[in-house]
Chains A and B, each alone.
Chain A
């Protein structure tokens, strides 16, 4: 892996030297068969939370490709793949949707031999361990469990490595609780704090059952009420138990609100209505940019992780399919990786992203080092000043601390019903 990385580096440097700029280098690498013919616009279905206009601009500069984002919610992505697979050329979806998507046959296996950086994809996806060899928690729909298909048009997962990947990983992160340290005034180090009566009326969680249940399970386990064999695949009795504990908390007024929309979680936190809640990384950034203190608190029980990746619908063929592979290769070539890392997410191919980040940025985001200067977001907002550390520390610490992954359970229907009962109680 390291050999590959260095050979890549030197090849890149050569190109950079000869062409002068990084942009020119990537266009030489990835322009091939597209620029010559008519410009192709790829319809990109996804949540696009991480994708700004800059990405489109840079893509066109480098490859002559255009993308048209079809930005919808995670659930909507799944629904579209199943019901309208011809309405997009490329889908960016989460791994936990795969148990629903793969049996439908609506997505094709991705040919890994056509992915230049496949060998550099982080081992978290391919083997379930961090680059330094630490084992990652695999409860739930962990990407390494659903990474390969048994054929290009396979409808079931392969146990061994095959040529065909279900998704080409793009973006992932480790989620935890967000807190307002200024309003709490003491250290928080356990998921159990979400139901601590001290925060009665000032806690929140999300009203998206498939994710909410995982956070709930982290809390129940942290409280010492129960240890799940697999939080990501509960039995009916385990669902009952989890929901019973949350129903009691809800009835006693523990929660100020549940949220479904990212912006709601930002408002709850920024306004001080809530001081501790299930939260997503960019929401923390949004609260901070309003001048409020907000910490993405590492907890001793670990993180709940999620990951997304690219797939082709079965209807994408020929030139369009080639263009999609070109796009994915461009995506993994580093510029986007750096762009994602700077938002607090992680890129699936770390070595290429590193080339596009300054040593200070790399140190802050990936190695848990104190910032030497201001750390800026891709849009130029200041996220941290010199001396500050990233919440949760290094990549190894955060991804190595993953306890479970977003999941689709066998008892999904029952779980959704029980969740609705909790909301109605």
Chain B
């Protein structure tokens, strides 16, 4: 509060009640359920009931067999590795794409109406429902899909490529397709705040395009990059629909395991898994914010 108050001098204590409505929503719909989840993760359960208790079994069960390597990696480690892999890969691709698109929008498109129009085009992936979007990948990437047919007719390949669909490739493709926008918005926002005169000055001083990007644009866009990264990382960590459908349900994700446990009413088990997922996600975000102090940059 002190730091905030110092920085934002307009924030007078007598106006702090303005934050109350949001704080209330936050407490009721976020803090309370989270606390409940943590409590339930220590409860016992049967097929048809959950029993108040304090046991560590749910956590022990998750890590059962994880600390001996004789049977290979345990389910939990394997699943987290796979989820982290999707997370990192998607993050890297959305970052490069998002940065490029935002850069183009901010510095090459001069008219504001055109900027808005192009920006809206970026939101097209969100114009249809998740399910329809997923289903439409089949005619495109499937064995007899457009891409395979096209490449066969060109003579590039003789047999349809199987890994276009229901593979890590298709999962990452769909994730990138969906979440690049989450990267574009905050980076674009940061870029708009960059004083053009700084860039002009750098140009006049003989800096190359690359030097300008590396030494001026990227450092000044750091908050946008970090906010976008937090969005993408947190969303992908908890995703199970995209990984499930695009991976042909053959790839593991933490979200899917929690989903299955919930369906089988193993609620304390699901709660324990959620807590672990939350801890790991917070850890990843924490490391990111260590790299850049967002509050300082804002």
A413 pairs with B266, CB closer than 8 A: yes
Instruction: Using A209-B264, A273-B165, A408-B47 as known contacts, say yes or no to A255 and B250 having CB atoms under 8 A apart.
Output: yes
Please tell me which one of the listed residues A79, A104, A250 contacts residue B263 in the complex, with CB atoms under 8 A apart.
Answer: A79
Supplied contacts A258-B248, A416-B264, A416-B266, 17 more A-B pairs, CB within 8 Å:
A78-B265, A79-B263, A82-B265, A100-B48, A250-B250, A257-B249, A263-B131, A263-B135, A272-B143, A272-B144, A413-B264, A413-B266, A416-B261, A417-B61, A420-B75, A420-B256, A423-B250
Q: How far is the CB of B107 from chain A (nearest CB, A)?
A: 43
The verdict on B68 contacting chain A, using a C-beta distance below 8 Å, is: no
The verdict on A412 contacting chain B, using a C-beta distance below 8 Å, is: yes
Q: How large is the interface on B (under 10, 10 to 19, 20 to 34, 35 or more residues)?
A: 35 or more
**A273 CB contacts on chain B under 8 angstroms:** 138, 142-143, 165-166
Closest to B264 in A: A416
The verdict on B260 contacting chain A, using a C-beta distance below 8 Å, is: yes
CA distance A272 to B265 in the complex (A): 35
CA distance A420 to B252 in the complex (A): 8
A424 pairs with B79, CB closer than 8 A: yes
Q: How far is the CB of A184 from chain B (nearest CB, A)?
A: 15
CA distance A152 to B79 in the complex (A): 46
Chain B CB count within 10 A is highest, among A201, A260, A271, A423, for A423
**B249 CB contacts on chain A under 8 angstroms:** 207, 257-260, 423
CA distance A209 to B256 in the complex (A): 12
- 8 closest Cβ contacts across the A-B interface? A257-B248, A424-B252, A258-B249, A75-B263, A207-B249, A104-B48, A100-B48, A100-B47
The verdict on A131 contacting chain B, using a C-beta distance below 8 Å, is: no
Closest to B74 in A: A421
Q: How far is the CB of B256 from chain A (nearest CB, A)?
A: 7
Could you pull out 19 A-B pairs where Cβ atoms are within 8 angstroms? A76-B263, A78-B265, A99-B47, A101-B48, A209-B260, A250-B250, A255-B250, A257-B249, A258-B248, A260-B249, A263-B135, A267-B138, A272-B144, A273-B138, A273-B143, A416-B261, A424-B78, A424-B82, A425-B78
Closest to B72 in A: A425
Number of A residues near B (Cβ < 8 Å) is 40
The verdict on B33 contacting chain A, using a C-beta distance below 8 Å, is: no
Closest to A106 in B: B48
The verdict on B162 contacting chain A, using a C-beta distance below 8 Å, is: yes
**What is the 8 Å Cβ interface bit string for chain A, positions 260-279, against chain B (1 contact, 0 not)?**
10011001000111000000
Dominant secondary structure at the B interface: helix
A271 pairs with B78, CB closer than 8 A: no
CA distance A143 to B267 in the complex (A): 27
**B82 CB contacts on chain A under 8 angstroms:** 424
The verdict on B66 contacting chain A, using a C-beta distance below 8 Å, is: no
CA distance A273 to B166 in the complex (A): 10
The verdict on B244 contacting chain A, using a C-beta distance below 8 Å, is: yes
The verdict on A256 contacting chain B, using a C-beta distance below 8 Å, is: yes
CA distance A258 to B248 in the complex (A): 5
**B88 CB contacts on chain A under 8 angstroms:** none
CA distance A78 to B47 in the complex (A): 10
A271 pairs with B265, CB closer than 8 A: no
The verdict on A103 contacting chain B, using a C-beta distance below 8 Å, is: yes
A416 pairs with B260, CB closer than 8 A: yes
Please tell me which one of the listed residues A103, A256, A417 contacts residue B166 in the complex, with CB atoms under 8 A apart.
Answer: A256
Of residues 34 through 63 on chain B, the ones whose CB sits less than 8 Å from some CB of chain A are 47-49, 61
**A267 CB contacts on chain B under 8 angstroms:** 135, 138
**A78 CB contacts on chain B under 8 angstroms:** 265
Instruction: Using A82-B49, A424-B79, A424-B82 as known contacts, say yes or no to A271 and B138 having CB atoms under 8 A apart.
Output: yes
Q: How far is the CB of A400 from chain B (nearest CB, A)?
A: 31
A271 pairs with B144, CB closer than 8 A: yes
**A412 CB contacts on chain B under 8 angstroms:** 47, 264
Q: How far is the CB of A149 from chain B (nearest CB, A)?
A: 15
**B263 CB contacts on chain A under 8 angstroms:** 73, 75-76, 79
CA distance A210 to B47 in the complex (A): 13
